[in-house]
Structure 1
Amino acid sequence: MLSRDDVASESDASWWRQAAVYQIYPRSFADADGDGLGDLAGIRSRIGYLSALHLDAVWLSPFYPSALADGGYDVDDYRDVDPRLGILADFDALVDDLHAAGIRMIVDIVPNHTSNRHEWFREALASPRGSAARARYIFRDGRGPDGAEPPADWTSAFGGPAWEPVGDGQWYLHYFAVEQPDLNWDNREVRDDFLRTLRFWSDRGVDGFRIDVAHGLAKKLDEHLPSQADLDALPKGDGGHPLWDRDEVHDIYAEWRTVFDSYSPPRTAVAEAWVQSHRVPRYASPEGLGQAFNFDLLEADFDADAFRRVVEDNLALAAQSGSSTTWVLSNHDVVRHATRYGLPEPANPKEKHGYAWLMSGGVSPVLNRERGLRRARAASLFVLALPGSAYLYQGEELGLQEVADIPAESRQDPAFFRNPGVEVGRDGCRVPLPWTTDRPSFGFGTAPPHLPQPDWFASVAVSVQEHDPDSTLSLYRKALELRHRLQTAEQLEWLDSAPDVVRFRRPNGWEVAMNFGAEPAELPAGTVLLASSPLAGRQLPAETTVWMQPS
């Protein structure tokens, strides 16, 4: 682990290339003031826990002032802290504490849209058509003689129309929730303000940024807008789509890179860019954001050929960009991987994994929790051995499953409210963490939490797992500590193996084998360093990963 002096004076600008980064969803991590909502002081109270995980960095999901229309991704003020979570001094203290523990800080930046409570948007609503205030956003005249029809029939990502009327014949675009008006990135004032935001947090010691919807900022909306059907039919891999992954978005990030590189060491960034694979390297280039998320393993079947293909493809993409790749199995937007791996594959390959189970309230199809956890432990150990950065989501180190049976009156995700009967949203992976076995909140705080926790949380609480050498928490701690000692050049060599086994070697001789099959396989020769499931003799059990040091 790095010392405080290492973090403060680090001259090696490549620390992020093989970092272990832990995502904190701050409102669900730890509640220090007893209001049922996690806060910055709560995170500070758990620095020892984070340090024991042997992390390189934490990524803090939005902590800005927000009405929480979309879990904090509706930002009122990009340069302040939500008063329910603390004040700027609390943020500064958190950065200092993390740095003292050798852990860097990455924060979420949400540049595609503000909240509808942002001072700019309030000014836009109070200003006339054609005003400078409205030019910061995407306003259009409605159709029809009185502008009563939307400019286009577009559907938002959370369901319902993507255009909202403001009462004077004009409408604004909100690709996400109605409370999230899209910014106009052709506007110089918008670009300059975000440069100020990046400097504001960098000056406060932030080491890097995660860029939300990084592929959506640049838009080209002609006078005659296409229909939703026309939009859906347009290709998204040539840089010319009106809304997504336009070539000129990289002009924005070139300016950001100038800001990042003005610091020593340079600030890092990682793009959330849902784009075709051949479009990823430009986001991850040294002239751009520097790194981009790879979600392919998150979406891959639990299958040897699928995992190997994903690894090969993404290492090749990283080589094209000069960056390192990233590995993700869970985050705040998807069903936790311990649950996905315990469910049968959906009959419709286009259906999101776990969708039917969520819609049933966790009843159907039947979840095999034991198998899901066994596979999740194996996949996590596999990912942590790969070259590149590993992004972990809070609670996965406890083997947490998704919470499906949240009452309708307790749900918060806008997808649930805008798509009744079609979506239940992402609340199930955002339930506050269990720290102890005690009610009312399993040690999260002293009050009932903002999302209800199931009774079974008591069996997976930190206090239950931290002294159990076979627990998932112990597995993560051992793996992350070993990873720091074993991690070396960003290379791997594939080794011959049985059909259901994926096996590779890292440059220092560290070998990894993962058995995806339902039957045991032969254990490679050498000394076992770590295994995701108990070993019996010289066999590699089904759905198990092992780390080896050859004799």
Structure 2
Amino acid sequence: MPATGWWRTAAIYQIYLRSFADGDGDGVGDLAGLRLRLPYLRDLGVDALWLTPWNVSPMADGGYDVADYRDIDPLFGTLADAEAFVAEAHEAGIRVLVDLVPNHCSDQHRWFREALAAPPGSPARQRFWFRPGRGPHGAEPPNDWRSYFGGPAWTRVPDGEWYLHMFAPQQPDLNWEHPEVRAEFEDVLRFWFDRGVDGFRIDVAHGLMKTPGLPDVGPEPDPADLPYQDHEDVHEIYRAWRRIADSYPDPRVFVGEVWLPTTAQFVRYLRPDELHSAFNFEFLCCAWESNAIRKTIDDTLDTHRLIGAPPTWVLSNHDTIRHVTRYGREDTTFALDARRHGAPTDLALGRRRARAAALLTLALPGGVYVYQGDELGLAEVADIPEDRIQDPTWERSGHTDRGRDGCRVPLPWSGTEAPFGFSPGGAAEPWLPQPATWREFTVEAQEADQGSMLHLYRTGLHLRREALAGLEDDPVWLATDDGVLAFRRGDGFACVVNFTAAPVRLPEHRSVLLASAPVAGGHLPADACAWLRL
């Protein structure tokens, strides 16, 4: 596999390990199941895999509460299984990225257990954010920060001090001002790089450093100037990490999860000596509307061009409502604080738009991410019984936000009833229930249907690698009617997207390379995309 800049144009498939494939029959996805499905991923045509956390964890937040950064949770397998998986993926021509969770660890991590056992002011507590409370007897939190999962960002311990957790109480924030924290994670990087891992996706990459003194945000905080994110000193951390990544003969890669309100903040993480790329959440959150999509594409390309970083295109992930559902709504945007669970959805419309969006993202220059199940056209599962919901957001929000479980339901592989081939015969029930309607969306059912979403993705990914590789990185917009977007890359390829409710005539072309819906009489149907040879 060539090493130079592979990540600049890669198609990367996100594996939510708990829900991809269950090899041992306990109802939870694992490395054994993933290894069995590597041929599927190879044939799909992806260049790399990104795995959500596989480390030892009590699973208070689906593995994003890490108790041991250098070992695999028994739920998923062993360290030997992980090493075998990396080797087998490489043999299949697939790179491997894994999640790194540096903002916080688990309350079961040895450091935090030591901190709880030590008195206030002790060195063990200095690796975290322990503070005395405010008000009479210190009964009020040290400041007014709120957890991303709802409720206060502070929990009080028996001796009266409070500790900071920007997510769940089981996820204490680490103090990145402490040299031991920095040294520990640099060693963790080397541990996995030495075992062949090709890179890391960095969770909450913008959140590691906090403003000294941990000041209040006040009643009307400025989203672009919050004391718990995007502190300037965080860039020093990534410059140190980049030196480690670049020290390997086959340089390793960092992808940042950077949710920030302004482009100016975002691009600083992509400077040549910091992260290699970051997720394009502006595109993920954008409405299915031609002007909005065009502006987001232009802004993305302009921004990345200035710093020489490759853009990325993302439609869904394990934290967002699946775009098949989102695109079938009156409001097709997405925001973390407004998931709009239960909003009316036209799934047939959503799938038409999702097919078009898939070809649009695959046609754009840069890298593209495919969240598991996107290629099957899976929708959000909106009716998980309340007693089966596992996302901590459900409890932290006082049962007002159903959280993210709806996009994390185990994949359907085969058969006509649950578990749809996710687990072997006689296995335990999947950790989240699968809807009966998924019998129509199994890999097996779609293999037999040339018009399926799976065939569209396979064809698109292979053509992207073979026919689109090497095209111009600067798309040129073509003149179109309102509600239609068209661009060419070079002189031989064009992509046309019809956002309107009626068919539109395609521009002059030699042939249709691929289309998300049947093209008849030179017309592209509503909510469809076509790739053209010019």
Q: Which TM bucket (shorter chain)?
A: over 0.9
Conserved 8 A contact 1:378-1:514: yes
The verdict on how the C-alpha distance between 1:147 and 1:353 changes in structure 2, with shifts beyond 3 A counting, is closer
Displacement after TM superposition at 1:526 (Å)? 2.0
Conserved 8 A contact 2:12-2:46: yes
Residue 311 of structure 1 pairs with residue 269 of structure 2: no
Displacement after TM superposition at 1:439 (Å)? 3.4
Q: Which residue of 2 aligns with 1:247?
A: 232
Q: Which residue of 2 aligns with 1:260?
A: 245
Q: Deviations over 1:419-454 (max 9, x none)?
A: 124201000000000001243411000321000001
Conserved 8 A contact 1:280-1:317: no
Question: In structure 2, the residue corresponding to 1:79 is in which secondary structure?
Answer: strand
Q: Which residue of 2 aligns with 1:502?
A: 485
Counterpart Cα distance in 2 of 1:73 and 1:319: 33
Displacement after TM superposition at 1:291 (Å)? 1.1
Out of 436, 440, 452, the position equivalent to 1:471 is 452
**Which amino acid in 2 is paired with 1:467?**
A
Question: In structure 1, the residue corresponding to 2:138 is in which secondary structure?
Answer: coil
Counterpart Cα distance in 2 of 1:453 and 1:174: 32
Question: In structure 2, the residue corresponding to 1:222 is in which secondary structure?
Answer: coil
Conserved 8 A contact 1:285-1:291: no
Out of 398, 418, 430, the position equivalent to 1:449 is 430
Counterpart Cα distance in 2 of 1:227 and 1:282: 23
Matches within 5 A, 1:146-545: 146-222=137-213, 225-226=215-216, 228-229=218-219, 232-234=220-222, 236=224, 241-275=226-260, 276-345=262-331, 355-356=339-340, 358=341, 360=342, 364-365=343-344, 367-445=345-423, 446-485=427-466, 486-488=468-470, 489-507=472-490, 509-524=492-507, 525-545=509-529
Displacement after TM superposition at 1:351 (Å)? 6.6
Conserved 8 A contact 1:403-1:454: yes
**Which amino acid in 2 is paired with 1:277?**
T
Q: Which residue of 2 aligns with 1:98?
A: 89
Q: Deviations over 1:367-415 (max 9, x none)?
A: 2111100000001100000001101100000000000000011000011
The verdict on how the C-alpha distance between 1:269 and 1:227 changes in structure 2, with shifts beyond 3 A counting, is closer
| Runs of 5+ unmatched residues, structure 2 | none
Q: Deviations over 1:145-174 (max 9, x none)?
A: 532221123221111111101111210000
Displacement after TM superposition at 1:233 (Å)? 2.0
Question: In structure 2, the residue corresponding to 1:210 is in which secondary structure?
Answer: strand
Counterpart Cα distance in 2 of 1:429 and 1:219: 31
Displacement after TM superposition at 1:227 (Å)? 5.0
The verdict on how the C-alpha distance between 1:280 and 1:496 changes in structure 2, with shifts beyond 3 A counting, is same
Displacement after TM superposition at 1:507 (Å)? 2.5
Counterpart Cα distance in 1 of 2:474 and 2:456: 24
Displacement after TM superposition at 1:352 (Å)? 6.0
User: What is the number of equivalent residue pairs in this alignment?
Assistant: 527
Question: In structure 2, the residue corresponding to 1:133 is in which secondary structure?
Answer: helix
**Which amino acid in 1 is paired with 2:33?**
G
Question: In structure 1, the residue corresponding to 2:107 is in which secondary structure?
Answer: coil
The verdict on how the C-alpha distance between 1:235 and 1:442 changes in structure 2, with shifts beyond 3 A counting, is closer
**Which amino acid in 1 is paired with 2:512?**
V
**Which amino acid in 2 is paired with 1:172?**
Y
Displacement after TM superposition at 1:84 (Å)? 1.1
**Which amino acid in 1 is paired with 2:30?**
D
Conserved 8 A contact 2:418-2:436: no
**Which amino acid in 1 is paired with 2:224?**
K
TM-score, normalised to structure 1's length? 0.93
Q: Deviations over 1:334-367 (max 9, x none)?
A: 1100110111117xx89769833x2x4xxx52x2
The verdict on how the C-alpha distance between 1:166 and 1:541 changes in structure 2, with shifts beyond 3 A counting, is same
Q: Deviations over 1:211-247 (max 9, x none)?
A: 1101100112417x32542xx423525xxx4211111
**Which amino acid in 2 is paired with 1:534?**
P
Displacement after TM superposition at 1:510 (Å)? 1.4
**Which amino acid in 1 is paired with 2:517?**
S
Counterpart Cα distance in 1 of 2:494 and 2:334: 35
Counterpart Cα distance in 1 of 2:377 and 2:39: 20
TM-score, normalised to structure 2's length? 0.96
Bigger mean CA deviation after superposition, 490-499 or 243-252: 490-499
Displacement after TM superposition at 1:196 (Å)? 0.5
Question: In structure 1, the residue corresponding to 2:12 is in which secondary structure?
Answer: strand
Matches within 5 A, 1:116-155: 116-155=107-146
Counterpart Cα distance in 1 of 2:504 and 2:336: 31
Q: Which residue of 2 aligns with 1:3?
A: none
Counterpart Cα distance in 1 of 2:95 and 2:285: 28
| Runs of 5+ unmatched residues, structure 1 | 1-5
